[in-house]
C-alpha cells in the first residue's frame, strides 16, 4: 500500500513565546532550480496531455536521463539546504531535544512462546535492537538471537523483518532489506551454533514461515521489478533456492498475497486479498508436502479471514455484512454454505479482528470511531469490555502467541498518554500495567488537554476530529494548529501518543487529526465513501474540518498548517489545489501526486494492486475523475501556500519522480513568492531512516520549516 510509513510521522514542538515576541524567519532570496522540459505526449480517451517532466522517470531505468535526474534532485536538495540554512542551529537543538525524550537503554516486555521469553533491548547510543530470549524463566541466561547494531554497521539503511523460530527452537528465519525498497533477502540461523546457513533467498516479502518439521520454510516471492507478491514458495533447509517449489501462484495482479502460521500452530495459511475480495488456502503444518487446499473460493465483493481453533474454524467476513460478522464452520467442511453465524452484523459497529484462545475469544471492534476490546469466556459465554476512559485513544491486541494462555496482552495510548502495555487476566478480569513508554525531559500528561470534536462536512456527514494542546492554548483564532489526516485504504487514524509532538505543543501549537472518509474510522461505509469515484470526499472532509477549527476559534488561515504522507500526501496535493488560500504551510511527505501516470504504468510497484482503491484510468470514467483531482494534472498558474515536499530515491511505495515532477511543475507555474522546497533522501525509501535516532533529524527539519513560517526560532 502507499500507506503512511510505520508510526505515521505526525508533527510536534516546545516553550511557548508570546506572538508579539516572534520574529519572522528571513528566507534567503535565492533562485530555485529550473527543471528541463521535454515534450512527452500522453494520448488516451481522445485526450492529449503534454507531460514535460516525464523524463524524470528514468533513474531506475538507467537510461540517458538517469544522470540528469540525479543532478536535478541534488540541485533541489542544495536549494532546500540553502533556504533552510538559518535554521541549522535550531534544527540541531531540536534533534537533541527530540532524542532526549527517547529512553536509549530500554527493554520490551517479554513475550512467552513455546518455552521461551522473547524480547528486544536497546543500548545507549545505539541505533538498532538486539533480539533476545531466555529459556523457561526471566532469570535464565540471555541468548542474543540477532544483534542488529552489529549487523547494520557501515550501512546507510538496514531493516530486519519477519523473524520466526522453528518448533524445536533451534532455527531462526528472518528477512533483511538493505535498500529500503521492501525487497527482503531471507536468511536462516542455527541458534545452537550461531551459524548462518548459505541458504539466502532473494526478492521476498520478508515473511518466512516454518512448518512443523523444522526444515520446511514457506515464503512469498516478489517480482524483482514490480515488487508484486506473485508466488508462495516452499524452501527445504540445505537445498539451493533454485529447487524451491511453487506452492501457489497468484494470477490476479490486483491481489496482495502472503503466508503465515496459525496461532494454534496447526495450519499454514496462504492469503490472497484485494480491497474487495479474498481467498484463503491452507496446508496442515505437520504435512508440508501436501498440496494446499482452498478454504472457500473467492467471490466478488466478499472478504473473509480464517481463524483456526482446536475444533472449528472462525471466519470474519463481510458476506452480506458490510461491517463484518463472525461465522464458524467445521474443520472438514469449509465452503461458504457451511458457515454458521456467531456474531451478527451491526450497522454501528465494525468487527475488526478476533484473537483466539483455547478458553477465550477476544473481539476487536470499533464503535463511534473508537476501538473496543470485548473478552468472551467460551465455556460460560460471559462477556466483558475492557474500559478506556479518555475521549480519544488507540487500543488493540498486542503480541499473544500462546494459544493456551488465559492472559490477554493489549496496548493503550492516547494523545496525552504514552504507549502502554497491559496484561489482562481473563479469569479475574483485571488489567495490570506491564510497561509504559518513558518520556525524558519531565513530561507531565496533566499539562495537556485532549478533545474529541465533530465537524459537519458539506454533504452533512459528521467527521470526527481528535485534538490535543497544552494548557494555556488560547482559542482566540490566533493560535497555530497543525491538522493531519490520511484517508485511504480503510486505514483508521487512531489518536496515539508521540514524544516528538511535545516539541510542537510546548511551542504553542495544537495538533489535530481529521478522521476523514477513506479510512474505516466510522465503519466500512466510511471507507467506501472515500475511494474510487467518491475519493473527493476525503479532500473536502479535510477542508471542512479545517474550516470548522477556524470557525471555532482554534486557529485562522494565517496559522493553520496541514500535513500528510503517501496517500495522505495525495490529500495534501488536493487541498492546495482546491483551497490554497486556507493554509499557511503544507507538509507533503512521500506524496502520491501523479495519480494517472502511475496508475497507467503497470510496471510500477503496487499499481495493479490498487485499481480497486483508485480505479483503472484505462476506463474513461475513472480517467476523467482522476484527472479532476490528481495534483500533478491540476497544477496551474496561481498562488500556492508555503510547501515542503519530502521523498526518498529508493521509495517503492510512491516513486521519487511523483513529488519531483509535481514540484518542478509548480515551480514553473506558481505566481506567488511563497516557499516551495523539495527534500530527497538519496539513501532511503518510503519509511525514511531505519535507525532509532536518524529519523529524528527529518522530524527536526520539518519542525524547523513550520516554526520558521510561524516565526518561532527557539
Question: Where in the sequence numbering do the catalytic residues fall?
Answer: 566, 651, 686
Q: What distance in Å separates the CA atoms of residue 245 and residue 232, rounded to the nearest whole number?
A: 9
Least Cα distance to 192 among 210, 172, 166, 170 occurs for 170
Give yes or no for a contact between 511 and 467, defined as CB atoms under 8 angstroms apart. Answer: yes
Q: Distance between CA atoms of 137 and 167, rounded to whole angstroms?
A: 18
| Cell numbers given for 692 | 532509532
User: In the chain, what is the straight-line distance between the N-terminal and C-terminal CA atoms, in Å?
Assistant: 37
User: Exposed, middle or buried by CB within 10 Å (0-12, 13-18, 19+), for 590?
Assistant: buried
Provide the grid cell at 31.
533562485
- The residue whose grid cell reads 515464503 is 219
Crossing angle of helices 66-83 and 657-669, rounded to 10°: 60
CB 439 within 8 A of CB 499: yes
The CA-CA-CA angle for residues 285, 289, 292, to 5°, reads: 70
Residues pairing with 643 in the sheet: 586, 676
Cβ distance 536 to 614 under 8 Å?
A: no
Rg of the chain's alpha carbons, rounded to an integer? 25
Strands (E), 206-253: 209-210, 216-222, 229-236, 245-249
C-alpha cell recorded at residue 491? 486505514
* E strand intervals along 358-487: 360-367, 370-377, 383-385, 393-397, 407-414, 420-425, 430-436, 448-456, 462-470, 481-484
Look up residue 631 and give its DSSP letter. T
Give the DSSP H or E segment for 604. none
Q: Which of 469, 438, 429 is nearest to 451 (CA)?
A: 469
88-100 and 694-710 helices, crossing angle to 10°: 130
At residue 664, φ and ψ (nearest 5 deg) are: -60, -40
Cα 603–520–658 angle (5° rounding)?
30
Residue indicated by cell numbers 483564532: 477
Q: What is the rounded CA–CA span in Å between residue 291 and residue 295?
A: 13
Return d(Cα 411, Cα 396) in angstroms, integer.
Answer: 6
Distances (CA, A) of 564 to 488, 561, 641: 11, 11, 15
Amino acid at each position: 500500500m502507499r500507506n503512511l510509513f510505520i508510526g505515521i510521522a505526525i508533527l510536534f514542538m516546545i516553550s511557548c513565546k508570546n506572538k508579539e515576541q516572534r520574529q519572522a524567519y528571513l528566507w534567503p532570496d535565492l533562485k530555485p532550480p529550473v527543471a528541463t522540459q521535454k515534450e512527452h505526449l500522453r494520448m488516451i480517451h481522445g485526450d492529449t496531455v503534454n507531460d514535460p517532466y516525464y523524463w524524470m522517470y528514468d533513474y531506475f531505468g538507467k537510461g540517458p536521463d538517469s544522470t540528469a535526474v540525479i543532478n536535478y534532485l541534488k540541485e533541489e536538495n542544495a536549494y532546500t539546504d540553502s533556504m533552510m540554512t538559518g535554521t541549522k542551529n535550531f534544527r540541531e537543538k531540536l534533534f537533541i531535544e527530540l532524542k532526549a525524550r527517547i529512553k536509549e537503554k530500554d527493554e520490551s516486555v517479554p513475550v512467552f512462546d513455546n518455552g521461551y521469553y522473547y524480547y528486544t533491548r536497546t543500548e545507549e547510543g545505539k541505533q538498532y535492537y538486539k533480539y533476545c530470549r531466555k529459556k523457561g524463566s526471566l532469570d535464565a541466561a540471555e541468548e542474543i538471537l540477532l544483534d542488529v547494531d552489529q549487523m547494520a554497521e557501515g550501512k546507510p539503511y538496514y531493516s530486519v523483518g519477519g523473524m520466526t523460530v522453528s518448533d524445536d527452537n533451534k532455527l531462526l528465519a528472518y528477512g533483511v532489506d538493505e535498500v529500503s525498497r521492501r525487497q527482503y533477502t531471507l536468511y536462516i540461523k542455527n541458534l545452537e551454533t550461531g551459524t548462518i546457513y548459505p541458504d539466502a533467498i532473494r526478492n521476498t516479502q520478508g515473511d518466512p514461515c516454518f512448518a512443523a518439521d523444522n526444515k520446511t520454510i514457506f515464503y512469498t516471492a516478489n517480482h524483482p521489478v514490480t515488487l508484486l507478491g506473485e508466488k508462495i514458495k516452499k524452501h527445504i533447509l540445505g537445498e539451493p533456492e533454485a529447487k524451491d517449489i511453487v506452492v501457489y501462484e497468484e494470477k490476479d495482479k490486483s491481489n496482495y498475497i502472503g503466508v503465515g502460521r496459525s496461532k494454534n500452530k496447526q495450519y499454514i495459511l496462504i492469503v490472497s486479498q484485494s480491497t474487495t475480495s479474498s481467498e484463503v488456502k491452507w496446508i496442515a503444518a505437520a504435512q508440508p508436502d501436501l498440496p494446499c487446499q482452498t478454504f472457500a473460493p473467492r467471490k466478488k465483493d466478499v472478504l473473509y479471514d480464517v481463524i483456526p481453533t482446536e475444533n472449528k474454524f472462525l471466519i470474519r467476513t463481510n458476506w452480506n455484512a458490510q461491517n463484518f460478522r463472525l461465522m464458524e464452520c467445521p474443520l472438514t467442511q469449509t465452503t461458504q454454505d457451511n458457515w454458521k453465524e456467531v456474531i451478527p452484523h451491526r450497522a454501528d459497529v465494525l468487527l475488526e479482528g478476533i484473537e483466539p484462545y483455547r478458553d477465550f475469544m477476544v473481539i476487536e471492534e470499533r464503535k463511534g470511531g473508537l476501538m473496543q476490546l470485548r473478552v468472551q469466556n467460551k465455556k460460560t459465554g460471559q462477556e466483558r469490555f475492557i474500559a478506556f476512559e479518555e475521549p480519544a485513544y488507540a487500543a488493540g491486541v498486542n503480541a499473544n502467541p500462546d494459544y493456551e494462555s488465559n492472559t490477554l496482552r493489549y496496548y493503550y495510548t492516547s494523545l496525552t498518554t504514552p504507549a502502554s502495555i497491559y496484561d489482562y487476566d481473563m479469569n479475574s478480569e483485571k488489567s495490570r500495567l506491564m510497561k509504559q513508554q518513558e518520556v525524558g525531559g519531565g513530561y507531565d500528561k496533566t499539562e495537556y488537554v485532549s478533545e474529541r470534536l465533530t465537524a459537519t462536512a458539506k454533504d452533512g456527514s459528521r467527521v470526527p476530529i481528535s485534538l490535543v494542546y497544552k494548557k494555556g492554548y488560547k482559542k482566540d483564532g490566533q493560535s497555530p494548529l497543525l491538522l493531519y489526516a490520511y484517508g485511504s485504504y480503510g486505514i483508521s487514524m487512531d489518536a496515539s501518543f508521540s514524544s516528538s509532538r511535545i516539541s510542537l505543543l510546548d511551542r504553542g501549537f495544537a495538533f489535530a487529526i481529521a478522521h476523514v472518509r477513506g479510512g474505516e474510522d466510522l465503519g466500512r461505509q466510511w471507507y467506501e465513501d472515500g475511494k474510487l469515484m467518491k475519493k473527493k470526499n476525503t479532500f473536502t472532509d479535510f477542508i471542512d474540518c479545517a474550516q470548522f477549527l477556524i470557525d471555532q476559534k482554534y486557529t485562522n488561515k494565517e496559522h493553520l498548517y496541514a500535513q500528510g504522507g503517501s496517500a495522505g500526501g495525495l490529500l495534501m496535493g488536493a487541498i492546495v489545489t482546491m483551497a490554497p488560500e486556507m493554509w499557511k504551510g503544507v507538509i507533503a511527505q512521500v506524496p502520491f501526486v501523479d495519480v494517472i501516470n502511475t496508475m497507467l504504468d503497470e510496471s510500477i510497484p503496487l499499481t495493479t494492486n490498487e485499481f480497486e482503491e483508485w480505479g483503472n484510468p484505462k476506463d474513461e470514467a475513472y480517467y476523467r475523475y482522476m484527472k479532476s483531482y490528481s495534483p500533478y494534472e491540476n497544477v496551474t498558474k496561481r498562488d500556492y501556500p508555503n510547501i515542503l515536499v519530502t521523498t526518498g530515491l529508493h521509495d517503492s511505495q510512491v516513486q521519487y519522480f511523483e513529488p519531483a515532477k509535481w514540484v518542478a511543475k509548480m515551480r514553473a507555474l506558481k505566481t506567488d513568492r511563497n516557499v516551495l522546497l523539495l527534500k530527497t533522501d538519496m539513501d532511503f525509501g518510503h519509511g525514511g531512516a531505519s535507525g532509532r535516532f536518524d529519523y529524528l533529524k527529518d522530524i527536526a527539519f520539518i519542525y524547523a520549516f513550520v516554526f520558521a513560517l510561524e516565526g518561532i526560532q527557539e
